[in-house]
């Protein structure tokens, strides 16, 4: 595995007894982009992230962050100098004050930027002398973000970052993540809140039952993915639509709904040639793509 | 350096409570000899003040007052971090698991060394207040024995805490392990090897009749320290392989 991708995995698998939490996952996350890691609860997102960070050892397969293998203890430690992580729990050392935790974390990174830390602390209104255990979950998330961003990490990995945040804090978080790529950071974040992912992600990887079920660029999705609703005077010829670009076909009476990943114009032309009485082409949302993909995978 | 700070912050309450309990116990035994002798007459009446202190502070119940905080200081490892949901934050730091465990062990051993000298700091000055004397050299001698015995007990507790879940499972298991280990170590063929930390902390098999000039049981102490180091190595190995 080279350094072509910020994150790369090949056949990454994690078993807990008989349960396969992650199953043969092969991912490629490009540099300097925001990549959303979508999946339902229990799909294997957190386990994948824990394997990437060397917290959990893979049962099989390989992975690399910035070209360094994740399952080598020495390399994994070195990787963590360049990778920041904001975990799902957002639990930090409750017995420390905000200031103590900032000083503690800063001591591990030669590239720590005190002025950025000060600036973020002011922006997030984090009181220096408050014990971390006395902060709300939203405030803890902001503190975790501060600790991650004050180092200008090459990769920022976040696990369900918006969980427990109020709408204003979510806006702030999404703005921060979007801006991070401008500083050369690759953002990889897991979420099951599709609307948030759709707002800021450049790419999306979808995982279900531990398997990668889709990988797509959101620009491509917006440009190419379409829902085409066709009406026919007679029962629709379902078989005729097994053409390039069609992901899914659903028929209800004389109506046919096609989900297309490409070639919307070709599909419409075909429909007209088959005497479709009505043709409606609409863009699709990431939520629709996700639901279809997950359903298809089942 | 900050890992040591973290280990200290996480264990300081247990350490301070243990040190205060130990100091309080020593002070009580020195200041309240007549009352205590009434309760333990068969064990201490007729012996000198030094033997009274040896018997009830450095041996018997006094040993328990030292061992209990040592067992609780042994609570460490990543499972404890996971129970507090801080394991992910800790493991995301650019430090090896060996460093993480090593800092907990080093701070724990430092705290045990301090606990071991508490009686030496409390007993000689307080003895003067009740017109008695207890040699500081003797107290320090016990301090060394306690440090080594305590290190071994700490190592058992630490190892158990590395792989047993539950806040108090490891201390309870350690207590059981210690009792079993004492039984095994007192088995006649094994007795000469000084494998029991509880016995090693006495410095002899029978406390009455020893004196300050008795040589320290260096072989026992060395064996105990080597065993402790072996247990630390196993704890580190387990931690390195743990999936969280």
Check whether residue A208 and residue A285 sit in a common domain.
no
Q: Does A107 contact B at CB distance below 8 Å?
A: yes
Going by C-alpha positions, the residue among B5, B244, B205, B11 that lies closest to residue B114 is: B11
A232-288 confidence digits (pLDDT tens): 888 878 778 878 888 888 888 889 998 888 888 898 888 888 888 999 999 988 988
Length of chain A: 298
Find out whether A237 and A191 touch, Cβ atoms under 8 Å.
no
Residue of B1, B9, B88 with shortest CB distance to A96: B9
CATH number of residue A109's parent domain = 3.40.50.300
Q: CB–CB of B85 and A53 under 8 A?
A: no
Query: Which of A201, A219, A237 is the last residue before a domain boundary?
Result: A219
- pTM for the whole structure: 0.85
> Which residue is closest to B10 within chain A, CA to CA?
A95
Provide the percentage of residues in chain B whose pLDDT is more than 70. Answer: 91
**In the block, which residue shows the tokens 């440090």?**
B147
Of B92, B94, B111, B93, the C-alpha closest to B158 is B111
The beta-carbon neighbor of A77 closest among B84, B95, B244 is B95
A124, A139 in Cβ contact below 8 A? yes
Give the ranges where A42-97 is alpha helix by DSSP (H): 45-52, 73-79
A88 to chain B: which residues are within 8 Å by CB?
88
Distance separating alpha carbons of residues A58 and A74, to the nearest angstrom: 16
Q: Are residues A239 and A155 in the same domain?
A: no
Over residues B168-172, the mean pLDDT reads 90
- Are A187 and A125 members of one domain? yes
Q: In terms of residue numbers, what domain contains A263?
A: 225-297
Q: What is the pLDDT of residue B206?
A: 47
- Residue A204 lies inside a defined structural domain of this protein: yes
Q: What pLDDT shows up at residue A253?
A: 87
User: Is A34 contained in some domain?
Assistant: yes
Length in residues, chain B: 244
| pLDDT tens-digit readout, B9-60 | 999 999 999 999 999 999 999 998 887 776 666 666 667 888 888 888 888 8
> Beta-strand (E) ranges in A179-288?
186-191, 203-208, 211-217, 226-232, 246-252, 255-260, 276-283
Do A166 and A270 lie in a common domain? Answer: no
Interface test with B, best of A87, A94, A110 (most B CBs within 10 A): A87
Mean predicted lDDT score pLDDT of chain B: 88
Return the residue matching tokens 């743990």: B242
Q: Is residue A1 domain-resident?
A: no
CB contact under 8 A, B89 and A93: yes
Do both A241 and A141 map to the same domain?
A: no
Taking the Cβ of residue A155 and every Cβ of chain B, the question of whether any pair is shorter than 8 Å is answered with: no
Number of domains observed in the structure of chain A: 2
The runs of H, that is alpha helices, within B130-168 are 136-163
Residue A25 in contact with residue A9, Cβ under 8 Å? yes
The number of C-beta contacts closer than 8 angstroms across A and B is 66
Contact (Cβ atoms closer than 8 angstroms) between residue B170 and residue B157: yes
Token pair belonging to A252: 């209800």
- Does A55 sit within 8 Å of B244, measured CB to CB? yes
Which residues in chain B have their CB less than 8 angstroms from residue A144's CB? 89
Is A56 in contact with B244 (Cβ distance < 8 A)?
A: yes
Report the pLDDT value the prediction gives residue B123, as an integer from 0 to 100.
94
Q: Indicate whether A235 belongs to any domain.
A: yes
Judging contacts by C-beta atoms under 8 Å, the chain A residues touching residue B238 are: none
Residue A2 domain-assigned (yes or no):
no
Residue B205 has pLDDT above 50, yes or no: no
Single residue among A172, A195, A219 that ends a domain in this structure: A219
Structure tokens at A292: 């279809």
CA distance A121 to chain B (A): 19
How many Cβ atoms are within 10 Å of A113's Cβ, its own excluded?
Answer: 15
Nearest chain B alpha carbon to A14: B243
Q: Do A57 and B241 touch (CB under 8 A)?
A: yes
Pair B120, B139: CB distance under 8 Å: yes
Question: Minimum mean pLDDT among A62-76, A79-93, A231-245, B222-236: which range?
Answer: A231-245
Domain end call among A175, A195, A219: A219
What is the reported pLDDT for A243?
A: 80
For residues A40 and A183, state if they share a domain: yes
- A231 shares its domain with A198: no
CB contact under 8 A, A84 and B92: yes
What is the per-residue pLDDT across B87-104, written as a single tens digit (0 to 9) for each?
A: 989 999 999 999 999 999
Q: Are strands A83-86 and A155-159 parallel, antiparallel or unpaired?
A: parallel
Contact status of A140 with chain B (Cβ, < 8 Å): no
Residues A13, A149, single domain; the answer is: yes
Verify that A154 and A282 share a domain, yes or no.
no
On whether both A170 and A25 belong to a single domain, the answer is: yes
A1 touches chain B (CB under 8 A): no
Whether A144 is in a domain gets the answer: yes
| Residue A255, burial from CB neighbour count under 10 angstroms (0-12, 13-18, 19+) | middle
* Same structural domain, A11 and A149: yes
A55 touches chain B (CB under 8 A): yes
CATH number at residue A240: 3.30.70
B140-157 confidence digits (pLDDT tens): 989 999 999 999 999 999
> Tokens in use for A84?
């920041």
Question: A238 and A193 in one domain?
Answer: no
Q: Phi then psi for A283, rounded to 5 degrees?
A: -70, 160
List A158's β-bridge partners, or say none. A86, A189
Rounded to the nearest 10 degrees, how much is the dihedral formed by the CA atoms of A162, A164, A170, A174?
Answer: -10
Rounded Cα gap, residues B110 and B149, in angstroms: 14
How far is the C-alpha of A93 from the C-alpha of A29, rounded, in Å? Answer: 31
A105 at the B interface (CB within 8 A)?
yes
Assess if residue A55 is contained within a domain.
Answer: yes
Please state, in angstroms and rounded to a whole number, the distance separating the CA atoms of residues B4 and B102.
9
ipTM of the complex: 0.85
Residue for token pair 């207890």? B134
User: Which of B86, B91, B243 has its CB closest to that of A92?
Assistant: B86
Q: Which residues of A touch B97 (CB under 8 A)?
A: 73
């Amino acid at each position: 595995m080279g350094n072509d991708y910020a994150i790369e995995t090949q056949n990454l698998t994690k078993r807990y007894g008989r349960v396969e939490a992650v199953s043969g996952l092969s991912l490629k996350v490009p540099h300097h982009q925001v990549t959303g890691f979508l999946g339902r609860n229990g799909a294997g997102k957190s386990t994948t992230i824990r394997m990437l960070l060397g917290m959990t050892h893979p049962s099989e397969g390989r992975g690399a962050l910035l070209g360094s293998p994740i399952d080598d203890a020495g390399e994994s430690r070195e990787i963590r100098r360049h990778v920041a992580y904001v975990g799902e729990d957002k639990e930090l050392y409750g017995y420390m004050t905000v200031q103590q935790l900032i000083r503690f974390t800063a001591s591990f990174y030669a590239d720590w930027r005190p002025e950025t830390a000060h600036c973020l602390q002011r922006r997030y209104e984090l009181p220096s002398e408050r014990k971390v255990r006395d902060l709300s979950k939203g405030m803890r998330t902001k503190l975790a973000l501060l600790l991650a961003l004050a180092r200008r990490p090459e990769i920022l990995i976040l696990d369900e970052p918006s969980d427990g945040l109020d709408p204003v804090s979510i806006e702030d978080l999404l703005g921060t993540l979007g801006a991070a790529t401008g500083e050369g950071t690759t953002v990889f974040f897991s979420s099951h809140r599709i609307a948030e992912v759709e707002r800021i992600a450049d790419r999306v990887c979808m995982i279900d039952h531990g398997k990668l079920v889709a990988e797509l660029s959101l620009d491509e999705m917006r440009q190419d993915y379409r829902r085409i609703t066709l009406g026919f005077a007679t029962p629709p010829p379902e078989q005729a639509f097994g053409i390039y670009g069609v992901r899914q076909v659903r028929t209800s009476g004389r109506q046919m709904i096609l989900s297309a990943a490409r070639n919307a114009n070709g599909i419409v032309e075909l429909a007209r040639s088959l005497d479709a009485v009505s043709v409606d082409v609409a863009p699709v949302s990431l939520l629709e793509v996700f639901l279809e993909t997950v359903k298809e995978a089942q | 350096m900050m890992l040591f700070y973290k280990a200290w912050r996480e264990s300081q309450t247990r350490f301070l409570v243990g040190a205060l309990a130990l100091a309080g116990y020593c002070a009580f035994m020195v200041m309240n000899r007549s009352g205590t002798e009434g309760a333990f007459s068969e064990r201490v009446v007729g012996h000198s003040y030094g033997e009274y202190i040896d018997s009830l502070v450095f041996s018997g119940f006094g040993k328990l007052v030292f061992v209990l905080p040592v067992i609780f200081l042994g609570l460490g490892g990543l499972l404890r971090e996971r129970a507090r949901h801080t394991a992910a934050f800790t493991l995301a730091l650019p430090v090896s698991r060996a460093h993480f465990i090593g800092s907990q062990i080093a701070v724990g051993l430092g705290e045990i060394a301090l606990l071991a000298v508490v009686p030496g700091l409390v007993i000689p000055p307080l003895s003067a207040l009740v017109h008695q004397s207890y040699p500081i050299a003797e107290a320090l001698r016990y301090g060394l024995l306690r440090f080594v015995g305590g290190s071994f007990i700490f190592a058992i507790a630490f190892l158990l805490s590395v792989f047993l879940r539950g806040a108090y499972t490891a201390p309870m298991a350690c207590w059981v392990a210690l009792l079993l280990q004492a039984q095994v170590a007192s088995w006649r063929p094994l007795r000469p090897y000084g494998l029991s930390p509880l016995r090693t902390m006495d410095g002899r098999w029978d406390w009455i009749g020893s004196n300050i000039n008795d040589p320290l049981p260096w072989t026992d102490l060395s064996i105990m320290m080597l065993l402790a180091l072996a247990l630390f190595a196993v704890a580190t190995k387990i931690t390195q392989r743990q999936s969280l």
